[in-house]
Amino acid sequence: MDTLVLLGSFFTLMIVGMPVAYALGFSALIGALWIELPLDAVMIQLAAGVNKFSLLAIPFFVLAGAIMAEGGMARRLVAFAGVLVGFVRGGLSLVNILASTFFGAISGSSVADTASIGSVLIPEMEKKGYPRAFATAVTCSGSVQAILIPPSHNAVIYSLAAGGSVSIAALFMAGVLPGLLLGLTLAALCLVIAKKENYPKGEVIPLKQALKICVEALWGLMTMVIILGGILSGVFTANESASIAVIWAFFVTMFVYRDYKWRDLPKLVHRTVKTVTVVMILIGFAACFGYLMTLMQIPQTVTAFFTSVSSNPYVILAMINVMLLVLGTLMDMSPLILILTPILLPVVKLLGVDPVHFGMIMMVNLGIGLITPPVGTVLFVGAAVSKLKIGVVTKAMTPFFIALFIVLMMVTYIPWLSLWLPRTLGL
C-alpha cells in the first residue's frame, strides 16, 4: 500500500499536468505523511540532494555549451564537417551527423544540438534538394550522440543517481565508442537513402577556403581537447574542466569569433541560470522521492520481481530495455534517470552487469525517447525549427528508429563497446 500511495500520487499529479519536478516533490511529501515520517527528514534529503560537489559540473557545462551554440560555433562546425564529407552523394546529411558529433562533444545537450545544427542545416539541405522532413529526421537522430559523447550532462546525473559510486570520467569515456557507433550507423543509413533517392552531391571546397574553415573551427574544437585531455591527464577534475571550458568558450566567442554582442551576454546567462535552476529543483525533489522509495523497499521489490521472471541476464536486460523505451516516450530523460537508476541498478548488479555499462544502456534507451512522441523533447524542437507537424517528422524518422534500435542492441549485448576505453585508461 505504501508503494501504491507514493507512485500513485506521482502519476496522478503527472496526469493532471503538474511539472515532473513538482510532482516528485509533492508525491514525496504525500508518501512521507502516509508512513508518518517527520517532514524534517524529507527536507534534509532535499538539501543533501543538491549539496554535492559533482553537481557543479552541470551549470558550467550548460553555460559553455550555450556560449558556443549562440556564438557562431555551430555554423563553423557545419562548415568544417562540409570540408570532410560534404562532397559525396547525400553529403549534406553526413555533414549534419558529423557536425552533431562535434557539437555534441562541446554542448553535451541533444536539445542544443538540434536547435543549433538544425537552424543552420535544415534550410540548407532543403535548398539543395533534400526533403525537409528527411533533413529534420537526420538532425534529430544525429543529436542523440550528444547524450553519449562526453561531456554529457546526463552522465553526471546518472553518476549522482547511482550514489556517486560510478565515476563521471569513466562514464564520459564509456560513451565515446557507443556515440561514434551511433554516428557511423546513421551515416551508413544516410548513404543508402541518398543513393536510393538520388540526393545531390556536394562540391569539393577549394584548398585555400578549406584551410581557412579548418582554422576557424579548430578554436571551438579545442574545447573537446580541454575537457577530455584535462580529465584524462589528471590535470583537473570534471568540475574544473567544465569551468575552464566556460572560460575558453567565452574567450573564443567574444575575442576570436566576435559574432556575439556583449549586450546579449546577460540574457544568455539568464537563460542558463533558468535551465540550471530547473535541473537542480528536479535533482532535489528526486532525492526526496528516492529516499521514500528506499524506505518503502521498492528497489528490493523490483529486483525480486525481475529475478523471479528469469535468471538469464539477456532476458532481464531485454525486459529493462522495453520498459525504458516505453517510459522514455512518456517522460523526459533527466527525471527518469533520477527515478529509475536507484531501482534498476541493484537488479543489473545482481546479474553481474557493470554499472558503467548499464549507464550507457540507459542513455541510449532514453535518448531514443527524446525523439519519440508523445513527449519527445528533441522531436518537438526539430519540428519547431523545421516548421513541420510532429506526425510528418515522426514518419520520416522510421528508418532512423530502426538504426537506433540496432545500436541499442549492440550497446546492450556487447559490453566491450562501453567498457573497453574506461578500462584501458584505468578509470
pLDDT reported for residue 125: 83
Locus of grid cell 526526496: 288
pLDDT reported for residue 105: 79
Residue 3 has pLDDT above 80, yes or no: no
Residue 295 has pLDDT above 90, yes or no: no
Which pTM was predicted?
A: 0.85
What are the C-alpha distances in Å from 370 to residues 159, 163, 173, 333?
A: 20, 25, 22, 7
**Higher-confidence residue: 19 or 419?**
419
Residue 72 has pLDDT above 80, yes or no: no
Residue-wise pLDDT for 185-238, tens only, equals 999 999 999 888 888 777 778 888 888 888 888 887 787 777 777 777 777 777
Average pLDDT over residues 396-408: 94
Q: Are 363 and 179 in contact (CB under 8 A)?
A: no
Grid cell of 28 as nine digits: 514525496
Average pLDDT over residues 401-407: 94
Residue-wise pLDDT for 140-196, tens only, equals 999 999 899 888 888 888 998 888 788 888 999 999 999 999 999 999 999 999 888
Q: What is the rounded CA–CA span in Å between residue 421 and residue 427?
A: 9
Average pLDDT over residues 387-410: 92
Residue 304 has pLDDT above 90, yes or no: no
Grid cell of 347 as nine digits: 537488479
pLDDT reported for residue 416: 94
Angle at 21 between CA 18 and CA 26, to 5 degrees: 70
Q: What is the rounded CA–CA span in Å between residue 95 and residue 86?
A: 6
Q: What is the rounded CA–CA span in Å between residue 410 and residue 141?
A: 17
Q: How confident is the model at residue 110 (pLDDT cuts 50, 70, 90)?
A: confident
Residue 35 C-beta-side C-alpha neighbours within 13 Å: 22
**101-118 burial code (b ≥16 CB/10 A, e <16):** bbbbbbbbbbbbbbbbbb
181: containing domain: 2-424
3-state secondary structure 381-409: HHHHHHCCCHHHHHHHCHHHHHHHHHHHH
User: What is the enclosing helix (H) or strand (E) of 50?
Assistant: helix 39-50
Q: What is the rounded CA–CA span in Å between residue 376 and residue 331?
A: 8
Q: What is the rounded CA–CA span in Å between residue 370 and residue 378?
A: 5
pLDDT reported for residue 181: 95
Residue-wise pLDDT for 336-379, tens only, equals 898 889 889 988 988 889 999 999 999 999 999 889 887 788 88
Q: Are 162 and 341 in contact (CB under 8 A)?
A: yes
pLDDT reported for residue 227: 76
Residue 6 has pLDDT above 80, yes or no: yes
pLDDT reported for residue 171: 92
Q: What is the rounded CA–CA span in Å between residue 249 and residue 252?
A: 5
Q: Are 166 and 355 in contact (CB under 8 A)?
A: yes
pLDDT reported for residue 152: 83
Expressed in angstroms, the distance from the first to the final Cα of the chain is: 42
pLDDT reported for residue 402: 94
pLDDT reported for residue 425: 84
Structurally, the chain folds into a number of domains equal to: 1
The share of the chain scoring above pLDDT 70, in percent, equals 100
Q: Are 115 and 146 in contact (CB under 8 A)?
A: no
Residue 127 has pLDDT above 80, yes or no: yes
The share of the chain scoring above pLDDT 90, in percent, equals 21
What are the C-alpha distances in Å from 210 to residues 80, 92, 99, 107, 207?
A: 8, 16, 16, 24, 5
